Amino acid sequence: MTPEEMATTAASAIQDKTRLTMVVPRPWKNRPRKFPKGILLCQQEKSNVYSFDPLNVIAWLAANGLIKVIATTIDEKPPNP
């Protein structure tokens, strides 16, 4: 999964008000430094399933320069002319 794909999946999870679930190898020897801690959901023989806060994943990706985050706003009502 590329950083862009991970960010898109995390953004979708935020929009859906859910968490980001990922399967990671066991043991996760090459875990990136300061990667967000997740909640262990399931242990398998060769992998584990974790649930992550999607906002923390996006923040980690941005802090490591893997994605660029741009803030946007959507006005519900158009401004008065």
| pLDDT at residue 54 tops 70 | yes
Strands 39-43 and 47-52: antiparallel
In DSSP notation, 35-80 reads: PPP-EEEEE-SSEEEEEE-HHHHHHHHHHTTSS--------SSPPP
Distances (CA, A) of 38 to 10, 27, 61, 78: 13, 15, 15, 40
* pLDDT on residue 33: 86
| pLDDT at residue 22 tops 90 | yes
